[in-house]
Structure 1
């Protein structure tokens, strides 16, 4: 599951969110994000060509100056670590990935 699929699957839970990308290793290319905060639909568009985020992080927050409360970390092209302060997002991740386990460290 790629970035765009994961964000799309979270759907209304992340409505109005914006994201900051920290990419260490990407297979494929995306247009430069400029390091700023991007709305969800823009991140989905950037990853529509299905580049693989092998090592990096996607940090999300409600639009504006809210603190980030959802972090998605790719540890390889098929594995995601998710950190969130939101129980509803954690529950949705559990639905998407029934074999998910809670991490003790980030």
Structure 2
């Protein structure tokens, strides 16, 4: 990924009704771009979602498979979701932190613009968010 930029936004949205932005919602909002990716998933809380843990233990999984494992109302706690294009390039990173925020990193400016439209509170990610 060249020159990635990142945004952070609150996972909980004010209501009414108050709601949580799920991984499924993010994937669906990305439309065709998200549907064409394969994903490497890392979860940090064992036992919360055994089916997703099993799928994540193997090779990358397609978006439709990932969507089938994360119900639209399913709140996960901590996880990293790395999206790869058909050429195997990392093009999108989603990080769910403590059920409080989402961090999105990509070199696709249109996607960051869309994230900001969908979630107007999105701001540049704080330093250190993407340290490995």
- Name the TM-score, length of structure 1 as normaliser: 0.85
Q: Which has the higher contact order (CA 8 A, sep 6+)?
A: 2
Residues 28-39 of structure 1 mapped to structure 2, 5 A cutoff: 28-31=48-51, 32-33=54-55, 34-39=57-62
- Name the TM-score, length of structure 2 as normaliser: 0.70
> Is 2:26 the counterpart of 1:3?
no
C-alpha distance in 2, partners of 1:30/1:8? 22
| Moved beyond 4 Å, runs of 4+ | none
Partner residue in 1 for 2:92: 70
What is the DSSP-based 3-state SS (H/G/I as helix, E as strand, rest coil) of the residue aligned with 2:123?
Answer: coil
Q: Which has the higher strand share?
A: 1
* Structure 1: gaps of 5 or more residues: none
> Is 2:110 the counterpart of 1:84?
no
* Structure 2: gaps of 5 or more residues: 1-20
Aligned pairs, number: 105
> Which structure has the greater CA radius of gyration?
2
